[in-house]
Amino acid sequence: MQQQLIVFTRYPEPGNAKTRLIPALGEEGAAMLSRQMTEHTLRQVRSLQQQLSIAVEIRFAGGTIERMQQWLGQDWTYTPQGEGDLGDRLTRSLQTAFAGGIQQAIVIGTDCPELDSQQLREAFQALEQSPLVLGPANDGGYYLIGMNRFIPELFANIAWSTSTVLQQTLEIAKTLKIAIAQLPMLSDVDYPEDLAVWFGCHNRVNSTNV
């Protein structure tokens, strides 16, 4: 079984990273949080790799491959996200994965610190029974989408960055008669009022490591 996890992230350049948090944290603080959240997510991915033999690709915006390697190391596969809205970039990443022989592909971002390696494993397991798995976020979007075949219709005519992304996606899947597995609802960290989610997860991790 060829499985791939695709991680969407951004190079943490001050002024261009987590911009909706700049009013609360400043440009440097928002970029630092972006850096920490990506590193936190990749620690969960490392843990998953100890359980499953999966390929991992980091699809990045901003920066360069060289800067990404300097930041996160050279043992990941890096690919620029490219142009277009989120739907275009998701479509491109998944189309490439399935064209390359991948049989199960999951895409996540780095905005959901509650997402852990066990939930990622459950998402891959869900794709053994269902063609589509979604991780709903409490802002009306989703923190994870996975499929066992390429379904480009799921990314067409979606109002991205709105509270209706998940609902629109579910409606498209229903129209296509695609069975859906759903993970637990989790919280994204996008706005100042979401910061408590990050600090809660961060404190739990630190207390576990003491």
Output the pLDDT for position 18. Answer: 93
Output the pLDDT for position 118. Answer: 96
What is the distance between the alpha carbons of residues 210 and 206, in angstroms, rounded to a whole number? 6
Output the pLDDT for position 200. Answer: 81
Residue 61: which CATH number? 3.90.550.10
Output the pLDDT for position 204. Answer: 61
What is the distance between the alpha carbons of residues 92 and 45, in angstroms, rounded to a whole number? 22
User: At residue 130, what is the residue type?
Assistant: S
Output the pLDDT for position 24. Answer: 93
Report whether 105 contacts 57 (CB < 8 A): no
> Which residue ranges of the chain lie beneath pLDDT 70?
202-210
Neighbours of 132 (CB within 10 A): 22
The number of domains in the chain is 1
pTM of the predicted structure, to 2 decimals = 0.94
Report whether 45 contacts 56 (CB < 8 A): yes
User: Can you tell me whether residue 74 is helix, strand or coil?
Assistant: coil
Output the pLDDT for position 76. Answer: 96
**141 Cβ contact list (under 8 Å, min separation 6):** 161, 163, 165, 166, 188
Output the pLDDT for position 201. Answer: 77
Burial class (CB in 10 A: 0-12, 13-18, 19+), 178: middle
Ramachandran region, residue 189 (left: φ > 0; alpha: ψ -120 to 50; beta: rest): beta
Residue 123 belongs to domain spanning: 3-209
